[in-house]
Amino acid sequence: MSTATTNGKTAARTARRNPIAGILTWADDRTGLATASKKQIRKVFPDHWSFMLGEIALWSFVVLLLTGTFLTLWFKPSMGEVVYNGSYDQLRGVSMSEAYASTLHISFDVRGGLLMRQMHHWAAMLFVGAMFVHMMRVFMTGAFRKPRELNWIIGGLLLQLGILEGFAGYSLPDDLLSGTGLRIAQGLMQAVPVVGTYVSFFVFDGEFPGDAIIPRLYTVHVLLIPGILLALIGAHMLLLVYQKHTQWPGPGRTNENVVGYPMLPVYAAKAGGFFFIVFGVTALMGGLMSLNPVWRFGPYNPSQVTAGSQPDWYMGVAEGLLRIFPGWETHIFGFTISWNILIPGVVLPGVIFTVFFAYPFLEAWITGDKREHHLLQRPRNAPTRTAFLVGMMTLYGLLWAAGGNDILAVTFHLNLNYITYFMRVAVFVGPVIAFLITRRWCISLQRADRDRLLHGFESGIIMRSPEGAYAEKHLPISVDEAYTLTARDRDELVQAPTPADENGVANRKVRMMRLRARLSQYWYGTAIQKPTAQELEEAQHHAEHELEVHEDGHQHLESGDYSGEYEFDGHAADGHQFDGRHAIEGEELRKH
């Protein structure tokens, strides 16, 4: 081993030549990658379990790429008709498409094929589910606020494309269940006025089902959408690194720094280990939990529908909307507009995703908050936003359940129509009730935090005053906890404007600004603000006075109008003599 003996600019080299180091040095001399990445590999990332939700989605996508590559080696994306003569005896001699036959071949004749198929499907479910939960975490904690609005939009696009990719993927086997899903998709296309039939003919290359949809879906599934997903994931990660990762408030954490571990070696090692955990869990699920047994459904036949057919879970909302919407239709000039398909299948999903993408900008406009935020919010400190999310979760759950109304009717021996009528009302009433309860709950938690800051925590020690009154002693919370509870901004209400400025010029936007002021009042009006510095100082002085130890070795607390020798000339209830806060000589349990 050699060490540097001068102050020169050339780095010291080992006496024994390392061939790998030589190759890397050769590459760095020509590309400059080491210089460019030197700063990034030491970039600090915060550590919290909730940040792993995004990584689950990332590593699930990697599992999808690996297992999908395996499946493409045997899958035949063709709707050409063949007679099955494979290993599955119950379907032997049945006419089917090459796509369905190759899926059976992968499942029964390719070694490890069924495992790869099920791992691929479970990874797809996990990919979309992890993105859902990750986006909910981002929403509740306000991680979408400036400067991360663009990353929120990218995340929404990833979620949309993930759902489309999943739909295209489980449609490829050309079994009876997936064919039913394609039939619904064709109905949604045809429900669009004027252009619907043209879109349907273009997608299916003629009448449904045609001979082109499986090859086209295959191209979209293995080439187009994965390429876009890779590009968006890359953009998402670049923005994450450039803007720095958000972090939870706590001691030493500010809006200007990041407290955590560097990319190399700590975070890279943890991320690598987490990939193998995700891969292992997916492999266990693929090996032990049966999913999408296409051999039980049989090949697709447009004249048949599988009883009790259900799509993958992330399509449940669309299914539920279609099932509970009233059968409204309008006949105009010989044309029929199917509102019962157009509104729940096309219009409402479009409205939902529009609100989803626009939300960061709507909240910034309502609150007037244009500052950069790198510290996360506790959900209770944004009661209206948190309540809105819980309301949307309630709506999602109800629609998801409505998508299986036939399953619920059969399982619980209920009337299918009654379930449908109940869901039509519940999707309006349920989210409102959930919103109101959650909002009040968050405000109550804010009030509890404020009391904890000003009065400390309940010690469990019951004190008795000379008058015989009982009160529980409060002790001050730790400095770290106090820092966490106060590490949030005070909410500022947007004030309503005057009809004219000081020069008498009329304000042309006064109506919009008044609406904004009313929304701001509702957004923050009932929230509990953190204590001011003066209130905290008074509370600290009061706590120090309460906990002051006098010459007699006891702590004296104020007790009403008592004017005796001590402010609180009493003693703790029996059993608290030995609380460790005063001398215990001569103390004993009282005899009753």
* End position of a domain, from candidates 267, 283, 317: 317
Of the pLDDT bands very low, low, confident and very high (cuts 50, 70, 90), residue 493 is confident
Residue tagged 């925590």 (tokens): 457
* End position of a domain, from candidates 280, 301, 317: 317
Q: What pLDDT is recorded for position 11?
A: 55
Q: What pLDDT is recorded for position 588?
A: 59
C-alpha distances in angstroms, 252 versus 257, 320, 375, 533? 9, 48, 12, 19
Supply the range of the domain harboring residue 479: 378-491+527-548
* 313 and 400 co-located in one domain: no
* 313 and 382 co-located in one domain: no
Residue 304 has pLDDT above 50, yes or no: yes
Of the pLDDT bands very low, low, confident and very high (cuts 50, 70, 90), residue 583 is low
Phi-psi region of 82 (alpha: psi -120 to 50; beta: other; left: phi over 0): beta
SS3 at position 199: helix
Structural domain total, the chain: 2
Lowest mean pLDDT among 10-19, 442-451, 460-469, 498-507: 10-19
Residues 6+ apart with CB under 8 A from 45: 51, 245, 258, 260, 261, 262, 263, 267
CA 532 to chain centre: 33
Lowest mean pLDDT among 94-108, 277-291, 576-590: 576-590
Nearest partner of 310 among 424, 491, 177, judged by Cα: 177
Of the pLDDT bands very low, low, confident and very high (cuts 50, 70, 90), residue 252 is confident
Separation CA 573–CA 591 (nearest Å) = 13
Q: What pLDDT is recorded for position 16?
A: 66
pTM of the model: 0.85
Separation CA 380–CA 485 (nearest Å) = 11
**For residue 236, how many other CB atoms are within 10 A of its CB?**
17
* 306 and 395 co-located in one domain: no
Please give the angle made by the CA atoms of 16, 20 and 23, to the nearest 5 degrees: 110
Phi-psi region of 335 (alpha: psi -120 to 50; beta: other; left: phi over 0): beta
Mean pLDDT of all residues in 472-479: 83
Q: What pLDDT is recorded for position 264?
A: 81
C-alpha distances in angstroms, 105 versus 121, 215, 301? 17, 18, 20
Residues 6+ apart with CB under 8 A from 129: 313, 314
Alpha helices in 2-112 (DSSP H): 19-31, 33-37, 52-72, 98-108
Of the pLDDT bands very low, low, confident and very high (cuts 50, 70, 90), residue 10 is low
Mean pLDDT of all residues in 502-527: 81
The encoded tokens of residue 206 equal: 């003629």
Note whether residue 512 is domain-resident. Answer: no
Separation CA 182–CA 175 (nearest Å) = 11
Note whether residue 287 is domain-resident. Answer: yes
Residue 12 has pLDDT above 60, yes or no: no
* 301 and 402 co-located in one domain: no
User: Do 143 and 46 contact (CB within 8 A), yes or no?
Assistant: no
Note whether residue 34 is domain-resident. Answer: no
* 134 and 231 co-located in one domain: yes
* 293 and 395 co-located in one domain: no
Mean pLDDT of all residues in 130-146: 95
Phi-psi region of 225 (alpha: psi -120 to 50; beta: other; left: phi over 0): alpha
Residue 94 has pLDDT above 80, yes or no: yes
Note whether residue 581 is domain-resident. Answer: no
Note whether residue 171 is domain-resident. Answer: yes
Separation CA 340–CA 191 (nearest Å) = 9
Note whether residue 561 is domain-resident. Answer: no
The β-bridge relationship of strands 470-475 and 457-464 is antiparallel
Q: What pLDDT is recorded for position 455?
A: 85
* End position of a domain, from candidates 317, 336, 352: 317
Residues 6+ apart with CB under 8 A from 6: none
DSSP code of residue 493: P
